[in-house]
Amino acid sequence: MKHKSLQVISKKILNDRYVELVVENRLEPFPKPGQFLHILTMGTFMRRPLSIANCTKERMKLIFQIRGPGTRKLSEVNEGMKLDILGPLGNGFPAVRRKGTIYLVAGGIGVAPLLFAAEKFENENRNFKFFYGAKTFKDLLISVLPEGNYQKFFTTDDGSYGEKATIVEVFEREIATEKPAVVFSAGPFVMLKKLSQLCSKKKINAYVSFENVMFCGLGACQGCTIETTNGYRRVCKDGPVFNHKDVKWNVKN
């Protein structure tokens, strides 16, 4: 983990409510899919955790939703400005050594860390499928998906794009005829819980990334804990990625 002042290379507003920031990369060690940055918001003393959506030796891409004062402040940064950043933080998705198709399942803004994973698998010529669901068409950031010939599935709650269903329902249909090598998923707790239940039933390896509110981002304040079979674990330090079998899903985390 490093503390850096990194320059904003570009900013783009997506669908009126999301922001794509590209910042220079001078972090060590090199970030892994599933890790995040903790960014100081201008005019406040609070940091915001943002998943890394893509990373090269020169630059990193961050995608976030404008939800409150902190993210709105971040949405107002401009090209050339410097951001106070801690990172890379947390434990990301594990290396995939098994042969077979990898399933990436995203719900809402949970798409961000899976974009990084998709880019990595595309560069490695791995077989993978991308499942992406959101409330409405405006919450689907289709333009940011990496290029490639991988299979894509889209759903919206209101039917404004793709199937009118939840992405877990489409995932369930696919695993009825194919057992993936592993599943990586990120999104709301309820979605992850349903996905975990299906993976347990089918004995599928799966890893889930949580979106808990974080304060220190370093594991000191214990403000983002979840209950697991190994006791309480900190999402910022021990996660945000966990083996789905280790999470106590019936406890309100």
Total-model pTM: 0.95
Q: What is the pLDDT of residues 167-187, one digit of tens each?
A: 999 999 999 999 999 999 999
User: Average of pLDDT values for 227-252?
Assistant: 92
- pLDDT of 126 reads 97
pLDDT at 28 over 80: yes
211 pLDDT band (50/70/90 cuts)?
confident
In angstroms, the Cα distances linking 233 to 76, 148, 191, 212, 236 are 34, 36, 20, 12, 9
Specify the fold of 2-89: Elongation Factor Tu (Ef-tu); domain 3 (2.40.30)
On whether the CB atoms of residues 184 and 105 are closer than 8 A, the answer is yes
- pLDDT of 214 reads 72
pLDDT at 43 over 80: no
In angstroms, the Cα distances linking 140 to 99, 148, 163 are 30, 18, 12
Specify the fold of 102-211: Rossmann fold (3.40.50)
Q: What is the pLDDT of residues 72-110, one digit of tens each?
A: 999 999 999 999 999 999 999 999 999 999 999 999 999
On whether the CB atoms of residues 19 and 61 are closer than 8 A, the answer is no
Q: Where are the domains of the chain?
A: 2-89, 102-211
162 pLDDT band (50/70/90 cuts)?
very high
Q: Which of 4-18, 26-40, 209-223 has the lowest mean pLDDT?
A: 209-223
Token pair 């990373």: residue: 55
- pLDDT of 77 reads 95
Q: Residue 138, class by beta-carbon neighbours within 10 Å (0-12 exposed, 13-18 middle, 19+ buried)? A: middle
pLDDT at 45 over 90: no
Strands (E) in the chain, as ranges, are 2-14, 18-24, 36-40, 47-55, 59-65, 82-89, 102-107, 128-134, 151-156, 163-164, 182-186, 206-209, 225-228, 231-234, 241-243
Biggest CA pair distance of the chain = 52
- pLDDT of 42 reads 78
- pLDDT of 51 reads 96
Domains 2-89 and 102-211 are alike in CATH topology: no
Provide the mean pLDDT of the chain.
94
- pLDDT of 253 reads 61
